[in-house]
Each structure stands twice: as C-alpha cells, then as structure tokens.
Amino acid sequence: MTIKTLSQHGVQRQQMPCLTKMERMIISMQDPDMGIKLRNQRLLITVIPHAMTGADIFEWLIKKFSISDEEALHIGQIFVKYGYIYPLKEPRNLILKVDNSPYRFQTPYYWMSTRWPASELDYAIYLAKKNIRKQGELIEYEKECYNALHKRINHTWDFVVMQAREQLRASKQRRKADRIVLECQEQAYWLVNRPPPGTLDNIDHGPERRTTNTRVQLFISFIMHPCSKKNADFYKKEIEHNRISLARNRVKSSICLESYVKYCEQYQPHDPIMQGCLPSNPWITDDIMFWNMNCETVSVPTKLRVERWSFSFMELLSDPVGRKEFLTYLEKEFSAENLCFWQACEDVRHGETSKIPGKVDEVYKQFLAPGASRWVNIDSKTMEKTLEGFKRPHRFVLDDAQMHIYFLMKKDSYPRYLKSDLYKNLLARAVVPQETKKSVLPFIHRQRHSSPSPALATQAAEDDGKTKNSNSFKSNSGTASRL
Amino acid sequence: MEMAAQPSDTLATLKTESETLKTKLEEERAKLHDVELHQVAEKTEALGQFIMKTRRTLKGHGNKVLCLDWCKDKRRIVSSSQDGKVIVWDAFTTNKEHAVTMPCTWVMACAYAPSGCAVACGGLDNKCSVYPLSLDKNENLAAKKKSVAMHTNYLSACCFTNSDMQILTSSGDGTCALWDVESGQMLQSFHGHAADVLCLDLAPSETGNTFVSGGCDKKSCVWDMRTGQCVQSFETHESDINSVRYYPSGDAFASGSDDATCRLYDLRADREVAIYSKESIIFGASSVDFSLSGRLLFGGYNDYTINVWDVLKGTRVSILFGHENRVSTLRISPDGTAFCSGSWDHTLRVWA
C-alpha cells in the first residue's frame, strides 16, 4: 500500500506552528538592544559583517530562557538545522559549534516558511552554478542530482545554464564579503531543502492528516449537489451538545484542584518514580524481588499494598489479593454473594457478545430468581427494570443491578472490612521489604532473569492432555530468540 | 411567489448560533474558576533533584517506532513501526519474543490484551487486527490473525477495554468505535470530531464507561461508551491533539499537542485547569503519560526530547535527552516503576 506523499498544504499545516515560533525567537535574537551582539567576524582574510560566534548564540539562549547548557545547545542546533542560522566556516556542516566559529542569520527570503517548495528548476540553476564555479567538482550526491535533473528537465537546460552564468557574472561584481555571504546563504538553503543522503530530513512527516477544510473541498469536487446538508447537521449537533453542556452542574475549581493535591500526596509513597520502591526498582538494580513480592499469588502482601486497599473501594477490588481477602471477610458476614454477583456482571459486560444470553440466564438463576441459592438484595424498582431488560438481554442489561450492589458494598461492607480484625491482622503481618543496595561495582550486571510469558497460560490451558512443559519455559530464558 | 430559503443562509445562521453558545459556555465555565492550580499547590513540597536514565534500549525495529503498549505483567512491551513490523519484547531482558509483519506500512496503533495472550494493531490498512501470541516457534502468527475493526481511513489508536473481548479504536476518518473481537461487529460508534481523531484513552473510573479522544480539530471529547454520546468537550489547544491520557484518579485528563503545550482538563470543573509550556519548547508534544501518583507528567516531543512536568506546580522538572529523532510514543509501566519511549530513531528506551 502506498502512502500518499504529504501535499504542500499538508506539510505547511503541520510545520507552521513550529516555524512561526522559531521565527519569533530568531527575530528576538536579532533585536538591537536585547539580541545577540553582532560584529565583524574574520574568515581567513575576509571580514564578514553582522556575524556572531557559536558561543554568542549559546550564551544568549541560556540567559534568555534560563535553561541548561545541554538544552541551549539542543535549541541552537535546531536553528542551524532548519537553516535559520548558518555557519560561515565549514558551511556544508549544519551544526552549532560552541566556540568562536562564525555564524550568521539567514535572510528571511530563504526562511522555511516563506519559500516552499523549492523547485527543481531553482535547484538545477544552483547546481549548475556550482558546477561552473568549481569546474565540474560537485560532490557525489550533488553530481547524481545534477545528472538526474539534466535528464528530467532537459528541455529547459539551456535556460538553466544561461541563468547560472548570468547569476555568476552578477556575483563577480560584488565585494568578496558579500559574495561569500550570498553563497553561504544559498548553500544553507539547499542543504535544508535537499538534504544529503544520510542526514535527517527536516520535512519528514507522518501520513497526511486531513482537516474539515480538505474534507469539504473533496466533497464539493466529487459530488455536485450542495454539501450544506452535511455541514448543517454538524452544526445542529454542536448546538445541541453546547446547550446540554451549558446546563451541566459544575464544581468549583478550588474543590477540584484540592483533590489533586490530596491524591498526589496520598499516592506519593506508592509512586516508584517519585519515591523509589522497596526492595529496589528492578529496572535500576536488575533485581526482580519487587515484582516477586507483589505478584498476584503472594501469600504475604507488602504493607504498602495492604494500605492501598484503604484508599478506595476500587483499589481493593482491582487487586486480586485484596479481592480474595474481601471475599473471605464477606463469607464471614454471609454476604459473599454480593461480590460474586458483581463479578458475574463484570463478566457479562466484558465478555463475548455471543455468550451474553447464556450468562445472563445463569446470573438470573443464581442470584436474582426468587429462592435463588445466592440471592442478592436489590430494590424492587431496579429489579423490575432489570427483569424487563432480560426479555432482550444485552451487554449492559445488568448495569443498574450491578451498580446497586457495588454501592451497597462500598458504603457498608467495605468500611467495616477496613475496621475488621481480618484486615488489621493482615496489615500487621504485612511485610516491609529491606532495601537492596545497588551493586558496589556498578558495571557488573546482575543476571537478568526472564519470566514465563503470560501467553503460556492459554497455551497450557489449550494443551489439555499434554503435561505442562517446563522445557518450553527454557526456550524463553536467557537466549535471544531468533525471529 | 415563495422564495426558497438559501441553504447558505441557514448554514451561516447555524454557525453563528453555535459560536454564540460556545462563548456562553466558556463564560459559564469561567464563573466557578476561583483559583489556579499552582496557587493551590503552593503548600506542596517542591520536588528535589530529578534523575532518570535510560536503563534499557530496545533495538530491532528497522524503521520509525510509532506506538507502544505495556503488558499487565509489567515487563513486556509490544511496539509497532513504519515498516509494518510489530514486535513483542521482554523489555527487562531486552529479548524479542514475537514478531509479526503487517501487510501495510505505518502501523500507528498497537495494544497489548489484558490477558497478555494477544496484541492488536493497525494503521494505513484502516483496520485493527488481533494476533493471538503463540509460543510455538514454528507457528506463523500471521496465520491466526483476526480482523476486528474496519474504518474508512487510517487507524490512529486502539486499546482493549477491561477484557480481551472488546477493542476501542480511533481513526483518520473522524470517528471512534467500539468492537466485539469475537464477531468483528461494531458495538458502538462515536461521531463528533470534525477531523481526524488521533488518540484515545480509557477512563479508570469505578463504572468504567467513558473514554476521551483527541483530534486534528483541536478538540478533545469525553464519550459515554454505552450511548455513543459526547458527554463533554474542550477546545483550547491551538493545534492538533496528538495524545490524551487520564489522570490516575479519573477526574481529569492531560493532552499533548502540536502547539507545543500539554494541558490538564478537569472533568468536574468542566474546564482547562493547567497549561504546561515553556518559551524554549518549540516542537509539538506527541505523547503524554502520568506517573503513578499523578504528580509527574511525562511528555515526548517532536524535537527528540522528553520533558517532565510537575503537574501541581506547573513547572518543568527535567528534560531528558537521548533519542536521535522525534519521540512518537510514551507510556508508563503498569506498576509505575519505569516509562518507555519509542522514537523515529528506530529504538525504544526504558527510563527509570
């Protein structure tokens, strides 16, 4: 399948925000008071006016944006790469050197945003000039381009050579300093627009993104009758949406924002990137103890993990160990059917569409039918609505009932669980791992152990009669799989 | 003689009415905005020195890496690239475990199934396909491929909902859709974006019924998965929205855009509550994700860097260098111990 090459319009659309910003910065760099101090720079025996050194650019960026050396260099490189600043020494190499290498600002005529695209004819004239000037000494890729162009636009070649000769003649009449500057400007422009093979292409973008404009245009061109109906529908929908939005209840910012502060504070000890994790972060020390101690089947969970169950009901339910503990508690309270019902509803909601009717039937028999073995207590209104929905069972038919039971557990069983001995004892028994010190000799890696692939679980389930192959584990460990 | 109503008049009137409502909506939203986030966060401790390094580099893609997703086992990753390759890695050992070659280029979306037994991917083929992962070395993964979603333009993002059985997709055709994996049937479609939809994220809410999407129309929309309705929308970015991600509590979401900013939107306050930007950041953010506590926002940018933001104070905490081309995708690991970035420089890096 071919990718549609980005249209002129497409490239401009995607690049313009960046180019506009860059150009604003370039202009402020050239500000007579706050910008970079330009002076004459010596290039061998010629004096070039209005130039600056790489170091000047670097220091100005650091001061202006209060950024680090590394970042200033990074931004400086971007300006040179995009052709907004060009080097006078080694003009082929569009990089920023933080020393007294001379640089100049590119003339706006050649800015990326103003001249687009650079035509073949212009490029041919440029290469022809070089060819004549250097008497056939173009470098490799330029030679190839030159020959290819010669073939492609052969019919205008006389014009090309004539233009090239004329431009060379005109430039010979300029002062040497001006001539050097003009040549560097032009060279920088072509290095950006026709990058040598191997260098990064600045105009490299992803597949074309279409916006409403393109879509409407296409619509008009292909279908003759007015497309206003489509647009009218769109606006009608927007109006409806905005009306509903206007009517919605909003919460004060102070309340909303305060909740973030609380949330971040509460979860900070659990955030490995913020506060580290015990015994250690596996990615840093190569020790997978942290993962082993927090896996699904661990018998003694860590203290942090058990504490986290108290943050919200969802935290408890989403941890398999937490859910198991909660089920044990509910069994003691003779209300385990609530959790089982909730799980069964989840299964309906997220399972295969074809299995829905069957599952709904099962749920009804086990939990909702009068005299059911694990009957759950739902209010009559919800029950009525649910039973009505059973006539045509769909994915969300149990939602209301599930929600009812969920909030019942959340408001009643959950808070009591947190106060129960079961929970408190578990918390007391919970483990606080000891910190693994990083290896004294940092260059010696711990061996990085592989783990069984989760895909193995289904494999084993599928291989009914076959024994669980520990050998197939080995094929995953250590050796690089050849693919 | 009756004059037929000019279609262009009606269109113009409708447009004006819509614009007026939008302005009113912004006014209403502003009324309850009594404080800024960084003011509320003044009492919060500032973050200390921040050091994160590349701990693993995954090399193996022959072209630009476009998308990545973590497996629930916290160490495996699936990634997709421009040349059609989809690779499953054990990022911890850096071993490649599976590889599939798609019949199309620019595989812009990939996702790991919650069970860890399958991956979904798609791109310029306009489809989303599911590949079950087989451990049999001789088995050709492509043979068991299942076509699930069909759009009329490129697939930009996909993710499994809470099970392996349903997939949510977004597309260049301006729509999102929910699909049943088993039958390939469309369960719900979501219309409302005026241009390509580039990204989506599932809400971590109790009821688990909403998701957010972002597009080239500079809008981000929150959708009700059951009804297909757009519940809320925000339009404050100045350019394409490349990435959306929920804040861990589900009460807010962040978006990264070509306008070089990341923004935070609160769903209860129904407005934008923070902008993460710096004068020195010129290029767009392609991908964003929160740390586990939501205190840090990681943004991968088109200028090859990763900027780390203090979500509460609004300041930039750190800038990470390393990639040699634009960062196209970034995800935090399921237990928050690390994050992985994928780049057009053909590599993936795990940072911790």
Tens of pLDDT, residue by residue over A361-405, are: 999 999 999 999 999 999 999 999 999 999 888 888 999 999 999
The distance of A39 to chain B (nearest Cα, Å) reads 25
pLDDT more than 70, % of chain A:
84
Fold of A16-115: Arc Repressor Mutant, subunit A (1.10.10)
Asked, for residue B22, whether it belongs to a domain, the answer is no
Phi, psi torsion values for B177, nearest 5 degrees: -155, 150
User: How far is A421 from A329, CA to CA, in rounded Å?
Assistant: 10
> Please, are residues A102 and A87 in contact by the beta-carbon 8 Å criterion?
yes
Q: How far is CA A431 from CA A42, A244, B120, B321, B334, in A?
A: 70, 51, 38, 38, 22
pLDDT score, position A117: 67
Phi, psi torsion values for B205, nearest 5 degrees: -90, 170
CA A434 to chain centre: 35
Query: Please, which pLDDT band fits residue A102 given cuts at 50, 70 and 90?
Result: very high
Closest CA to A436 of A283, A254, A269, A303: A283
> Please, are residues B158 and B122 in contact by the beta-carbon 8 Å criterion?
yes
Query: Please, which pLDDT band fits residue A482 given cuts at 50, 70 and 90?
Result: very low
Phi, psi torsion values for B86, nearest 5 degrees: -120, 125
Please give the tally of structural domains in chain B: 2
Q: Which of B164, B189, B214 is the last residue of a domain?
A: B189
Asked, for residue B29, whether it belongs to a domain, the answer is no
Q: Domain span at residue B161?
A: 61-189
> Please, are residues A91 and A106 in contact by the beta-carbon 8 Å criterion?
no
Phi, psi torsion values for A431, nearest 5 degrees: -95, 140
Average pLDDT score over residue span A24-39: 92
Contacts of A71 in chain B (CB under 8 A): 280, 319
Place of tokens 């600043």: A85
Q: Name the residue in chain A with its Cα closest to that of B57.
A: A283
Domain boundaries, given as residue ranges, for chain A: 16-115, 116-203, 278-429
Partner residue opposite A210 with nearest CB, options B28, B172, B270:
B172
pLDDT digits (tens, 9 = 90+) for A131-150: 888 776 678 888 888 989 99
Contacts of B305 in chain A (CB under 8 A): 74
The type of residue at A81 is K
Ramachandran region, residue A141 (left: φ > 0; alpha: ψ -120 to 50; beta: rest): alpha
Asked, for residue B15, whether it belongs to a domain, the answer is no
- Judged by a CB distance cut-off of 8 A, whether residue B227 touches chain A is no
- Judged by a CB distance cut-off of 8 A, whether residue A290 touches chain B is yes
Partner residue opposite B14 with nearest CB, options A74, A236, A282:
A236
- Judged by a CB distance cut-off of 8 A, whether residue A353 touches chain B is yes
Mapping DSSP to helix (H, G, I), strand (E, B) and coil, where does residue B166 land? strand
Query: Please, which pLDDT band fits residue A43 given cuts at 50, 70 and 90?
Result: confident
Mapping DSSP to helix (H, G, I), strand (E, B) and coil, where does residue B79 land? strand
List, in order, residues 6 or more apart from A273 with CB less than 8 Å away: B52, B291, B292, B296, B336, B337, B338, B339, B352
Residues B94 and B184 in one domain: yes
With respect to CATH, is domain A116-203 assigned 1.10.1240.60? yes
> Please, are residues B242 and B328 in contact by the beta-carbon 8 Å criterion?
no
Average pLDDT score over residue span A70-96: 92
User: What b/e sequence results for B106-127 when a residue is b if at least 16 CB atoms lie within 10 Å of its CB, and e otherwise?
Assistant: bbbbbbbbbbbbbbbbbbbbbb
Residues B161 and B243 in one domain: no
Asked, for residue B27, whether it belongs to a domain, the answer is no
pLDDT score, position B268: 94
- Judged by a CB distance cut-off of 8 A, whether residue B278 touches chain A is yes
Q: Which of A89-93, A201-205, B71-75, B337-341 has the lowest mean pLDDT?
A: A201-205
Report, at the CATH architecture level, how domain A278-429 is classified.
Answer: Orthogonal Bundle (1.10)
pLDDT score, position A468: 37
Average pLDDT score over residue span A93-104: 92
pLDDT score, position A210: 74
Statement: residue A217 has pLDDT above 50: no
Asked, for residue B119, whether it belongs to a domain, the answer is yes
Q: SS in 3 state form for B172-217?
A: CCCEEEEEECCCCCEEEEEECCCCCEEEEEECCCCCCCEEEEEECC
pLDDT digits (tens, 9 = 90+) for B287-333: 999 999 999 999 999 999 999 999 999 999 999 999 999 999 999 99
> Please, are residues A110 and A31 in contact by the beta-carbon 8 Å criterion?
no
Asked, for residue B333, whether it belongs to a domain, the answer is no
pLDDT score, position A343: 94
Statement: residue A4 has pLDDT above 50: no
pTM (two decimals)? 0.90
- Judged by a CB distance cut-off of 8 A, whether residue B54 touches chain A is no
The distance of B125 to chain A (nearest Cα, Å) reads 8
pLDDT score, position A459: 54
Cα separation of the two ends of chain A = 24
User: How far is A8 from A251, CA to CA, in rounded Å?
Assistant: 45
H-helix or E-strand containing A373?
Answer: none
What are the structure tokens assigned to B62, written together?
A: 């022959």
Pairing of strands B85-90, B76-81: antiparallel
Cβ-in-10-Å burial (0-12, 13-18, 19+) of A62 comes to: middle
pLDDT score, position A479: 30
Contact A253 B108 (CB under 8 A): no
From first to last of the 352 residues of chain B, give the pLDDT tens digit: 445 555 566 788 888 888 899 899 989 888 888 899 989 899 999 888 889 999 999 999 999 999 999 999 999 999 999 999 999 999 999 999 999 999 999 999 999 999 999 999 999 999 999 999 987 766 677 778 899 999 999 999 999 998 899 999 999 999 999 999 999 999 999 999 999 999 999 999 776 689 999 999 999 999 999 999 999 999 999 999 999 999 999 999 999 999 999 999 999 999 999 999 999 999 999 999 999 999 999 999 999 999 999 999 999 999 999 999 999 999 999 999 999 999 999 999 999 9
pLDDT score, position A46: 86
Place of tokens 């990341």: B262
**Cα Rg of chain B, angstroms:** 21
Statement: residue A469 has pLDDT above 60: no
pLDDT score, position A116: 60
What is the CATH number for B79?
2.130.10.10
User: How far is B70 from B77, CA to CA, in rounded Å?
Assistant: 4
Residues B124 and B153 in one domain: yes
Closest CA to B32 of B268, B214, B259: B268
Asked, for residue B21, whether it belongs to a domain, the answer is no
Closest CA to B292 of A277, A316, A270: A270
Residues B147 and B66 in one domain: yes
User: How far is A232 from A268, CA to CA, in rounded Å?
Assistant: 49
pLDDT score, position B140: 75
Query: Please, which pLDDT band fits residue A16 given cuts at 50, 70 and 90?
Result: confident
Q: Which of B171, B189, B207 is the last residue of a domain?
A: B189
Q: Which of B6, B73, B93 to mutate to test the interface with A (most CBs of A within 10 A)?
A: B93
List, in order, residues 6 or more apart from B214 with CB less than 8 Å away: B197, B198, B199, B200, B220, B221, B241, B242, B243, B244, B255, B257
pLDDT score, position B260: 96
Residues B314 and B199 in one domain: yes
In this structure, chain B runs to a length of 352
Residues B145 and B198 in one domain: no
Contacts of B32 in chain A (CB under 8 A): 250-253
pLDDT score, position A7: 58
Query: Please, which pLDDT band fits residue A476 given cuts at 50, 70 and 90?
Result: very low
Statement: residue A223 has pLDDT above 70: no
pLDDT score, position A312: 95
- What ipTM was assigned to the predicted interfaces of this complex? 0.93
> Please, are residues B193 and B156 in contact by the beta-carbon 8 Å criterion?
no
